[in-house]
Amino acid sequence: MSKPKKYVYAFTDGGRDMAELLGGKGAGLAEMSGLGLPVPPGFTVTTEACRAYLATGSEPPELGIEVAQHLAALERATGRTLGSADEPLLVSVRSGARFSMPGMMETVLDIGLTDDSVAGLARATGQDRFAWDSYRRLLQMFGHTVLGLDPALFENLITRHKEECAVKDDGELDAEQLRSLVGEYKALIREESGAEFPQDPAEQLQQAIRAVFASWNSERARLYRSRERIPDDLGTAVNVQAMVFGNLGPDSGTGVAFTRDPATGAPGPYGDYLPDAQGEDVVSGVRDALPIDALRRELPAVYAELARHLGTLERHYRDMCDVEFTVERGTLWILQTRIGKRTAEAAFRIAYDLLDERRVREDTALLRVDGTALNRLMFPRFAQRPAGAPLARGVPASPGAAVGEVVFDSRSAVRRHEAGARVILVRRETTPDDLPGMVVAEAVLTSRGGKTSHAAVVARGMGTVCVCGADTLTVDPAARRLTTDSGIVVCEGDTVSVDGTAGTVHLGALPLVDSEVRRTVETGEREGALGDAVLRALGHADKAARLEVRANADTPADAALARRLGARGIGLCRTEHMFLGERRVLVEDMILAGDDDARSAALRALLPLQRDDFTGILRAMDGLPVTIRLLDPPLHEFLPDLTELSVRAATDDGADPRTRELLTAVRALHEQNPMLGLRGVRLGLAVPGLFATQVRAIAEAVVRRLRDGGDPRAEIMIPLVADATELRLARAEAEQVIADVARESGVSVDCPIGTMIELPRAALTADRIAPYADYFSFGTNDLTQTVWGMSRDDAEASFFPLYLDRGVFATSPFESLDEEGVGVLVERAVTMGRAANPRLQTGVCGEHGGDPASIRFFHRAGLDYVSCSPFRVPAARLEAGRAALGADGTNDTR
């Protein structure tokens, strides 16, 4: 018989390797208990119990019994009883999923307070006011979280109460006034929920646990998960823990501390501290926290103990950790630890500092950073020192530079973003309800809160620029404006610039400059801890990688940039831009040509121009492969627009014979669905001399480079092949041209010929195609479009948001490869292609070639290279290395 399920674990029973079952918080509490850190005792209800509850709508029958047993043990351990009229035990009930979801789920504090036990708490602490304040907090939280009542109802009551008592702050209400407020809150609960606030503490506990289970499926939790790619079926654990109080006077307090600075990675301790405050006050940013040094000054012994525990945790976890702590009358308690979230900059710095400190090995350091983080660092920042004083200064909570128009609520942010605007979300402080706006914002700016406020934590996790606690700003969401201390008014729609690295806000759009990390990667010059860490990571990744990284580049300048950024060749040189601009008229001539002679003449005029283009690119990539794709887009893209021509034809220009000819050609070439029309190899076969001219230009450029002593490695690529015969015909023509050029020049030209695999039929018949191909390059853009049967531009402009929202896509399949659909075709085509042609090379040149998760897939699928835009090359190199070390993407949610 299998062992009966266990749904509840005491903190002393678990450990860090049980995060799936106990959630991150539960596993951390258990691990700390094991390390002997001062953790208030408690127990964890497993994610399995949550899943059972969500699946059936009720708790597993054993759960109630197990909770009761663990509660009894907790009562024995603390020597106190839940709900007792005399020194009662109070507990907190907190969510804690496998992956951190800050502020997305529910928490209920002070469970166990009742009409009886409130007096016991007052006696035990000697603080009447504190006891009644705790009770009213419980009623408020319970009413909102457990009973689903509108929090504004409670807020209105307390506001009215303060007016009646002629006080401004909650803190000024005395015990008697709070006692009367408690009466009003209880009446409110009775009227609104139809039942009394439960006076049985076990009942309170049961309902609170249920509410936390249910909060897994709240709207904001779902949105957060879909954005962070956290699976929807994990469920949350629930931690029940003896309450400790940070609001019992000046020798009490609460805070958050990191072992290193989560923004820069500099060695710590680092964090925020709020004296005489409770629980969520720091994280919610309602009161401005002090730097952790305030604790060192006020309670030096407690600070020393905290620093010691931080050291223990970092040595134990071998990574930067953060903790939430509470000081209750001079006694330190650690309430939570986890591997700390960090900025991209800090991730690199910390990983390589830990390597130098011999805490981690080189492979681990590389696995601790990722391409997503590196990509963030490649982006521009503001030019040095903007002229004039900033509008405001705040806490530099998440670095980077952003320019956009100001909006004052989440809904406007989303609306303006959808209309194409870049927005800066400005709030007094953010709550989880602001998440949709934060997701679309370029930057988040708040007037309250510190580095660990909700705004800061969430923005950092998303890589969004954030300045918080800019307390000289008066933010007025109702009037849709903010006012600075010098009286400058900024209204909704005005442009501001936010510097998340310096913590400043400026009026207008400041000019941006390139990132230092990008310069470091380009020049290889080590400057500072960050640049050094990035170069070390890239060096190690290059050594470890099996996948080669090439770039998509079609000009010598882009090719040179890509090479500086570490590309090992060009995986896709699109030739269409070589047919635009001034050359358009030559292309028009080719299209309008009435006979072979006229067409040949037009193509002959294009030949030397193309030869120069290719020569330049081959020079920039000397010694490395350059895959040149023959013309792909439909010809009408090179002709004037139909409407424009029709207008021209209807006016004076209509007399011009060329206008009429062009109009006829445009009409003839018009297609209902050009994406599936006359393009790619079809064009090559249908327009005599087109591909031959391009191949000649390539072969002659090779000859020229060889004569100049270069090492040209041109490869010819045929696009949009669906059938082996198409490639056979196109290849035969290309080989003939190459042979002609070799004969004419007396120089031997070696130019591999391959094909893109970007149609499902090509993938499915890869074994027939491979004998005619020296390589396959997966065009995953078109392959995704054709596998899904949707045009990217049309889909993104219409139903994409709906599909993301409804969970059809976790992420866009155009951003991250759809492994279940498109990926299967890629794997199959590689296997079949190699079986038919063992020398076949394989790569990918769609956008996915620069996406970290997709790169890991391509590594597993056994491809030889990925190719992406030059700026993404460093991140792709990093991911190629990480993929070879078995990276599984767990860092991506950090």
For the range 56-65, what are the long-range contacts, defined as Cβ-Cβ under 8 Å and sequence gap of 24 or more? 59/206, 59/209, 59/210, 60/5, 60/7, 62/4, 62/5, 62/7, 63/7, 63/8, 64/206
CB of 610 to Mg ion, least distance (A): 20
- Cα separation, 379 vs 381, whole angstroms: 7
872 contacts ligand PEP (rule: CB under 6 A): no
How far is residue 566 CA from its own chain's centroid?
24
Is 659:639 a contact under the CB 8 Å cutoff? no
Closer Cβ to ligand PEP, 328 or 758, answer by number: 758
How far is residue 459 CA from its own chain's centroid?
10
Nearest Cα to 759, choosing from 713, 803, 699, 822? 822
The interface partner of residue 446, options being ligand PEP, Mg ion, none and the CB cut-off 5 to 8 Å by kind, is none
CB of 21 to Mg ion, least distance (A): 46
Closer Cβ to ligand PEP, 64 or 674, answer by number: 674
Closer Cβ to ligand PEP, 646 or 781, answer by number: 781
Closer Cβ to Mg ion, 758 or 847, answer by number: 758
For the range 194-200, what are the long-range contacts, defined as Cβ-Cβ under 8 Å and sequence gap of 24 or more? 197/139, 197/142, 197/143, 199/114, 199/115, 199/116, 200/83, 200/114
265 contacts ligand PEP (rule: CB under 6 A): no
CB of 375 to ligand PEP, least distance (A): 19
197: tokens are 């606030």
Closer Cβ to Mg ion, 236 or 755, answer by number: 755
779 contacts ligand PEP (rule: CB under 6 A): yes
417 is catalytic: no
CB of 779 to Mg ion, least distance (A): 4
Q: Which residue is nearest to Mg ion (CB)?
A: 782
The interface partner of residue 845, options being Mg ion, ligand PEP, none and the CB cut-off 5 to 8 Å by kind, is ligand PEP
Catalytic residue among 144, 454, 506, 636: 454
Closer Cβ to ligand PEP, 50 or 790, answer by number: 790
Q: Give the interface size with ligand PEP as a residue count (CB under 6 A).
A: 10
454 is catalytic: yes
CB of 632 to Mg ion, least distance (A): 6
The interface partner of residue 818, options being ligand PEP, Mg ion, none and the CB cut-off 5 to 8 Å by kind, is none
Among 240, 440, 538, 572, binds ligand PEP (CB under 6 A): 572
> Taking CB under 6 A as the criterion, which residues in 821-850 touch ligand PEP?
845-846
Contact track, ligand PEP, 472-511, x by CB under 6 A: ----------------------------------------
Closer Cβ to ligand PEP, 373 or 572, answer by number: 572
| Local structure of residue 718 (DSSP, 8 states) | E
Among 59, 442, 782, 879, binds ligand PEP (CB under 6 A): 782
- Cα separation, 217 vs 240, whole angstroms: 20
> Taking CB under 5 A as the criterion, which residues in 772-801 touch Mg ion?
779, 782
- Cα separation, 444 vs 424, whole angstroms: 6
Q: Which residues contact 434 (CB under 8 A, 6 or more apart)?
A: 409, 410, 425, 427, 455
* C-alpha dist (Å) from residue 337 to 26, 50, 211, 215, 637: 9, 22, 23, 22, 58
- Residue labelled with tokens 């060329």: 658
Closer Cβ to Mg ion, 532 or 637, answer by number: 637
546: tokens are 């099996």
> Taking CB under 6 A as the criterion, which residues in 580-639 touch ligand PEP?
632
In this structure, is the dihedral angle defined by the CA atoms of residues 796, 797, 801 and 806, taken in order, positive or negative? Answer: negative
CB of 28 to ligand PEP, least distance (A): 43
- Cα separation, 541 vs 352, whole angstroms: 13
* C-alpha dist (Å) from residue 773 to 681, 716, 823, 841: 14, 10, 21, 9
- Cα separation, 81 vs 202, whole angstroms: 11
Going by their DSSP bridges, the two strands 267-275 and 236-242 should be labelled as unpaired
Catalytic residue among 845, 848, 859, 868: 845
- Residue labelled with tokens 């128009």: 405
Q: Which stretch binds ligand PEP (CB under 6 A): 71-79, 324-332, 438-446, 773-781?
A: 773-781
Among 136, 563, 574, 696, binds ligand PEP (CB under 6 A): 574
The interface partner of residue 572, options being ligand PEP, Mg ion, none and the CB cut-off 5 to 8 Å by kind, is ligand PEP
CB of 538 to ligand PEP, least distance (A): 25
CB of 822 to Mg ion, least distance (A): 13
Is 178:162 a contact under the CB 8 Å cutoff? no
781 contacts ligand PEP (rule: CB under 6 A): yes
Q: Which residues contact 365 (CB under 8 A, 6 or more apart)?
A: 351, 352, 354, 355, 536, 537, 540
Nearest Cα to 327, choosing from 240, 255, 242? 255
Closer Cβ to Mg ion, 481 or 682, answer by number: 682
Question: What is the helix, strand, coil percentage profile of the chain, to 5?
Answer: 50, 15, 30
Q: Which stretch binds ligand PEP (CB under 6 A): 47-55, 597-605, 777-785, 856-864?
A: 777-785
Closer Cβ to Mg ion, 492 or 758, answer by number: 758
252 contacts ligand PEP (rule: CB under 6 A): no
3-class secondary structure per residue, 559-575:
HHHHHHCCCCCEEEEEC
Among 409, 499, 548, 758, binds ligand PEP (CB under 6 A): 758
CB of 722 to Mg ion, least distance (A): 12
> Taking CB under 5 A as the criterion, which residues in 749-768 touch Mg ion?
758
Which stretches of the chain bind Mg ion, using CB under 5 A? 758, 779, 782
Which stretches of the chain bind ligand PEP, using CB under 6 A? 572, 574, 632, 758, 779-782, 845-846
User: Annotated catalytic sites, by residue?
Assistant: 454, 845
